[in-house]
């Protein structure tokens, strides 16, 4: 099985998976941040913010991720000149593409994070918010101290699903030249068409290893963290 | 808790003023960003008539956009049919009382849920090409469909499974009581109800499939995105072409989303299923756990036919 | 239950094979009753070489293909063009969906194992495209520390990095048009691929005067006419047609029309080609 050794030596398959993991983790953090803001906007008392929030979710959710990522590169970077890495650094192209991909993945998945949090908010009983208002908490404090902590715990399972989807969707970053797992797989398949099953097997296994524990972890988390009522 | 009104009191005069200020400020920020974008695009010459006028000509529509849309819809339609077939088979298989059927089906479902659709497409494309399984004209389509079929099939399998679990226990027990075998109970009593309950989620899944067909452009399938590239080569207006295509996607998917809500509202009114309509989130809940099946209760989350992040 | 499962499986398989069956109906090489049809594979996305412009096709590859088809006795209305992306060229020829391919198809020994070539009808070379006012990139050696764009898996970008400029940064996109966008916005310094392809982009009306081809080629790409393996009969006819095209001056006319406006200068020793490879 010389393909397997090629995977490690010639193609730096581990490095590719490392890129996949970095892409996933950074995008997950940023998506959680943007998604929370959007979710808060969607339940806020200011009508304009509410409509902006739903517009964001409706547009982003209905656009193919491939397009979102291509827009990050062709639109944000090439046209608007938004540079996310020092243009004079010797690795500026790779850094810039990686960061643009993180931005694109975050913006896309933030819409689903927002929906997950909203579904979490829906699990919080009415009395909780009413009680918070009764003791005089304003909107943001009601959210911060009463509703959101419970909503997050109620949203653990859907958030886990978004994370799994994000892991797999990070493969789309290859369209702007980020060397992650699927890009390396494509090259390996082109060079060794005689052993495509093995090549596919290696990479598929990689993703099973990445996503299966996340699924199990989030299921157990969602049970442990569920607010007992 | 539903709606947002419980989160804040009816605004008094001061709160109203604050809301107005926040509202105006956010609109101002939005306009500022828009102005920046438009200004920059203008500066780069992306807003010239030469780049946008082609979309007013019939040629761009008849030769590129409409064939592209047809390509996108064709791939999505075939994938949906195949994914449903495969999904029902796998879903029923996972519910089988025989471990010999249950385990292979579980492994297949879990495997294809873990593998990215893009990788599956790249693999099928290489595989079909190398072994000459399809005429090369159909090769990209076949690879796109294969990728979408296996992933969405496993999602549908999970929908079927949680749909059956969501049915009241009495349904299965009553079937047994009148002497139906396991298979007959599934076929005549449980599956029809589960599938009815699944409908909104399936329409929601359509949006996911439609979006994922766009991945096909990476393996040269002639869908909207690839047509946009061709327009870009013809008229030197790649960015405008991509913007137009994105708008088409958003519009088509938005209406599919509306359709999903309609279907769901219809189902709820007619109440054909003992379970009630199923939402993707609910399914996800039980699905995340892999082999550990969790009975899902209908009050877990507000059910709506919203699509998941796909892929 | 079991019958149902089997029936459903059957439907799935039928649907899948249906896909196969539909594709087989097209037969590329004439022969059938009612006017001979010729299906020619070209690129749809390379301005100046093979480009779909609405329902028309333009470019050097297309013009050569039309000339050859006419010489082979096909009427213009009976020539049908079909897109042949690089990765599918061998299989399109292999299963007879196209009779011949004119699609920047370089003659190489590896490819000769799978297909036969007539020609070459043009000899190109890998080169660089830069902004018209760029003075410091004079060749591949000058790319150290610069940003170079090409398509994923391209040999020319790798060659530049390996042989000429170790510290060049590579940007890879899936299509050249994205590279051209990047070049025009100033995000990258140069695009590399065959000089003909580069000239095609430079010659587009929207890009007029914006770019120039550097003109220092660092490889030789002999564009051949791809044919089904062992089709020597067509090969000989195509070579005769190509020779006639060159001798009559039609070749030069087609070149000037499609690629000449970008100021592309091909190697005069090999262009227009005077000798053609023996058909084997």
Please report, for chain B, the start and end positions of each structural domain, with discontinuous segments joined by +: 58-288
- Per-domain residue ranges of chain A: 17-180
C110 touches chain A (CB under 8 A): no
B118 CB-near residues (< 8 Å, 6+ apart): A171, A172, A174, A182, B147, B215, B218, B311
Question: What number is the average pLDDT over the span B172-177?
Answer: 91
Chains that touch A (3 or more CB pairs under 8 A): B, C
Last residue of a domain, one of C213, C247, C271: C213
CATH number at residue C73: 3.40.190.10
**CA C46 vs CA B235, C60, C69, C196, C253: distances in Å:** 12, 10, 21, 10, 19
Residue C147 sits in the same domain as residue C114: no
Specify the pairing of strand C50-53 against strand C45-46: antiparallel
Judge whether residue A202 has pLDDT over 90: yes
Count CB atoms within 10 A of the CB of residue B258: 12
Residue of chain B whose alpha carbon sits nearest to that of C91: B136
Give chain C positions within 8 Å (CB) of B89.
Answer: 5, 8-9
The total of structural domains in chain C comes to 2
CA terminus-to-terminus distance, chain C: 59
CB contact under 8 A, A52 and B115: no
**CA B213 vs CA A128, B63, B65, C277: distances in Å:** 43, 20, 15, 43
In angstroms, the CA C9 to CA C2 distance is 11
Q: What pLDDT was estimated at residue B309?
A: 64
Residue of chain C whose alpha carbon sits nearest to that of A80: C185
CB contact under 8 A, B249 and A74: no
pLDDT band, residue A2 (cuts 50/70/90)? confident
For residue C119, the distance in angstroms to the closest alpha carbon of chain B comes to 25
Residue C135 sits in the same domain as residue C206: yes
Interface of C with B in 168-187 (CB under 8 A): 174-175, 177-178, 181, 185
Residue of chain C whose alpha carbon sits nearest to that of B187: C1
Residue C160: which domain range?
126-213
Q: What pLDDT was estimated at residue B204?
A: 82
Q: What DSSP character marks residue C130?
A: E
pLDDT band, residue B272 (cuts 50/70/90)? low
**CA C145 vs CA A99, C127, C189, C197: distances in Å:** 21, 18, 10, 24
Q: What pLDDT was estimated at residue B291?
A: 27
A187 touches chain C (CB under 8 A): yes
Check if CATH label 2.60.40.420 holds for domain B58-288. no
In angstroms, the CA C1 to CA B309 distance is 34
Residue C83 sits in the same domain as residue C159: no
Residue C137 sits in the same domain as residue C256: no
Q: What pLDDT was estimated at residue B271?
A: 63
CB contact under 8 A, B63 and C175: no
Helix (H, G, I), strand (E, B) or coil at C266: coil
Peptide bond into C272 cis (omega under 30): yes
CB contact under 8 A, B288 and A79: no
Least confident of B3-7, B59-63, B153-157, C90-94: B3-7
Can you give the length of chain A in residues?
A: 229
C42: in domain: yes
Instruction: Identify the CATH number of the domain defined by range A17-180.
Output: 1.10.3720.10
C94: in domain: yes
C111: in domain: yes
**CA B204 vs CA A202, B25, B306: distances in Å:** 32, 35, 5
B142, B184, B187 ranked by CB distance to C19: nearest: B142
In angstroms, the CA B111 to CA B123 distance is 15
The reply to whether ipTM tops 0.85 is yes
Judge whether residue B78 has pLDDT over 90: yes
Q: What pLDDT was estimated at residue B288?
A: 31
For residue C155, the distance in angstroms to the closest alpha carbon of chain B comes to 19
Judge whether residue B5 has pLDDT over 80: no
A89 touches chain C (CB under 8 A): no
Give chain B positions within 8 Å (CB) of A37.
Answer: none
pTM exceeds 0.80: yes
C224 CB-near residues (< 8 Å, 6+ apart): C105, C106, C107, C117, C118, C119, C120, C121, C277
Pick out chain C residues at pLDDT < 70. 1-35
Judge whether residue B88 has pLDDT over 70: yes
Angle between helices A13-43 and A196-225 (to 10 degrees): 40
Q: What pLDDT was estimated at residue B303?
A: 35
Residue C98 sits in the same domain as residue C150: no
Give the residue with greater pLDDT, A20 vs A222.
Answer: A20
CB contact under 8 A, A90 and C171: no
Mutate to test the interface with B, among A42, A52, A64, A132 (most CBs of B within 10 A): A64
Residue of chain C whose alpha carbon sits nearest to that of B62: C54
In angstroms, the CA C220 to CA C223 distance is 10
DSSP string covering A68-114, please?
HHHHIIIIIIIIT----S-TTSTTHHHHHHHHHHHHHHHHHHHHHHH
CB contact under 8 A, B82 and C88: no
Please say whether the beta carbons of C223 and C104 come within 8 A: yes
pLDDT band, residue B82 (cuts 50/70/90)? very high
pLDDT digits (tens, 9 = 90+) for B145-155: 999 999 999 99
With residue C224 as reference, give the H or E element that holds it: strand C221-228
Give chain C positions within 8 Å (CB) of A172.
Answer: none
Residue of chain A whose alpha carbon sits nearest to that of C153: A187
C280: in domain: no
CB contact under 8 A, A52 and B26: yes
Q: What pLDDT was estimated at residue B31?
A: 97
Q: C151 phi and psi, to 5 degrees?
A: -90, 155
Give the residue with greater pLDDT, B128 vs B277.
Answer: B128
Residue of chain C whose alpha carbon sits nearest to that of A177: C172
CB contact under 8 A, B211 and A62: yes
Mutate to test the interface with B, among A23, A46, A134 (most CBs of B within 10 A): A46
Give the residue with greater pLDDT, A190 vs A119.
Answer: A119
């Amino acid at each position: 099985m010389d393909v397997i050794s090629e995977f490690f030596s010639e193609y730096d398959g581990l490095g590719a998976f490392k890129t996949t993991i970095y892409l996933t983790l950074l995008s997950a953090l940023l998506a959680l941040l943007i998604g929370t803001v959007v979710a808060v906007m969607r339940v806020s008392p200011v009508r304009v913010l509410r409509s902006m929030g739903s517009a964001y979710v409706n547009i982003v959710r209905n656009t193919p991720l491939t397009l979102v990522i291509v827009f990050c590169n062709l639109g944000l970077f090439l046209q608007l000149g938004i540079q996310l890495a020092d243009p004079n650094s010797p690795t500026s192209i790779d850094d810039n593409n990686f960061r643009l991909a993180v931005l694109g993945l975050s913006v896309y998945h933030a819409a689903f994070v927002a929906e997950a949090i909203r579904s979490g908010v829906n699990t919080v009983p009415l009395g909780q918010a009413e009680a918070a208002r009764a003791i005089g908490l304003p909107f943001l404090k009601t959210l911060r101290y009463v509703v959101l902590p419970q909503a997050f715990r109620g949203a653990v399972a859907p958030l886990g699903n978004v994370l799994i989807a994000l892991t797999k969707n990070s493969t789309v970053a290859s369209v702007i030249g980020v060397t992650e797992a699927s890009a390396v797989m494509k090259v390996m398949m082109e060079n060794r068409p005689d052993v495509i099953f093995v090549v596919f097997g290696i990479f598929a296994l990689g993703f099973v290893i990445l996503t299966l524990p996340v699924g199990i972890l989030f299921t157990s988390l969602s049970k442990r963290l569920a607010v007992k009522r | 808790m539903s709606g947002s009104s419980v989160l804040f009191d009816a605004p008094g005069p001061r709160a109203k003023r604050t809301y107005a200020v926040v509202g105006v400020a956010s609109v101002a920020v939005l306009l500022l960003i828009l102005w920046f974008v438009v200004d920059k695009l203008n500066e780069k010459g992306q807003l010239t008539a030469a780049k946008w006028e082609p979309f007013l000509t019939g040629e761009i529509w008849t030769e590129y956009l409409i064939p592209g849309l047809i390509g996108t819809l064709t791939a999505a339609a075939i994938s949906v049919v195949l994914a449903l077939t495969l999904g029902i088979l796998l879903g029923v298989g996972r519910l089988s009382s025989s471990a010999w059927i249950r385990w292979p089906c579980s492994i297949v479902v879990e495997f294809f849920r873990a593998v990215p659709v893009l990788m599956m497409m790249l693999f099928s494309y290489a595989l079909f090409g190398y072994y000459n399984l399809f005429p090369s004209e159909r090769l990209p389509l076949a690879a796109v469909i294969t990728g979408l079929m296996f992933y969405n099939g496993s999602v549908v399998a999970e929908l079927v499974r949680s749909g059956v679990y969501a049915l009241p226990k009495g349904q299965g027990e009553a079937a047994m009581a009148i002497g139906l075998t396991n298979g007959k109970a599934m076929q005549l009593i449980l599956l029809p109800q589960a599938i009815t309950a699944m409908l909104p989620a399936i329409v929601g899944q359509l949006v996911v499939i439609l979006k994922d067909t766009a991945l096909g452009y990476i393996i040269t399938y002639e869908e909207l995105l690839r047509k946009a590239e061709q327009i870009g080569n013809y008229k030197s207006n790649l960015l405008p072409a991509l913007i137009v295509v994105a708008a088409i996607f958003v519009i088509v998917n938005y209406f599919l989303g509306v359709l999903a809500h309609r279907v769901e509202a219809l189902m709820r009114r007619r109440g054909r299923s003992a379970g009630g309509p199923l939402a993707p989130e609910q399914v996800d809940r039980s699905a995340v756990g892999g082999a550990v099946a969790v009975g899902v209760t209908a009050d877990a989350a507000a059910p709506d036919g919203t699509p998941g992040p796909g892929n | 239950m079991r019958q149902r499962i089997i029936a459903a499986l059957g439907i799935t398989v039928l649907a899948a094979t249906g896909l196969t069956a539909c594709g087989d109906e097209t037969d590329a090489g004439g022969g059938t009753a009612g006017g001979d049809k010729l299906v020619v594979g070209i690129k749809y996305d390379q301005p100046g070489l093979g480009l779909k412009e609405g329902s028309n096709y333009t470019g050097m590859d297309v013009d050569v293909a039309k000339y050859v088809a006419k010489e082979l006795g096909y009427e213009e209305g009976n020539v049908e063009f079909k897109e042949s992306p690089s990765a599918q060229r061998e299989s399109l020829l292999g299963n007879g969906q196209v009779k011949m391919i004119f699609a920047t198809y370089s003659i190489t020994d590896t490819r000769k194992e799978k297909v036969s070539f007539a020609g070459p009808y043009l000899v190109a070379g890998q080169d660089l495209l830069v902004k018209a006012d760029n003075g410091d990139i004079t060749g591949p050696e000058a790319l150290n520390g610069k940003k170079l764009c090409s398509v994923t898996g391209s040999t020319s970008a790798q060659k530049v990095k390996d042989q000429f400029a170790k510290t060049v940064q590579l940007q890879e996109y899936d299509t050249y048009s994205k590279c051209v966008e990047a070049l025009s916005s100033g995000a990258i310094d140069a695009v590399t691929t065959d000089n003909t392809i580069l000239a095609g982009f430079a010659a587009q009306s929207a890009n007029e005067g914006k770019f120039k081809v550097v003109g220092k080629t660092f490889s030789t790409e002999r564009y051949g006419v791809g044919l089904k393996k062992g089709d020597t009969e067509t090969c000989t006819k195509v070579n005769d047609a190509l020779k006639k095209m060159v001798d009559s001056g039609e070749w030069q006319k087609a070149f000037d029309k499609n690629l000449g406006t970008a100021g592309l200068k091909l190697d005069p020793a090999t262009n227009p080609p005077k000798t053609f490879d023996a058909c084997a």
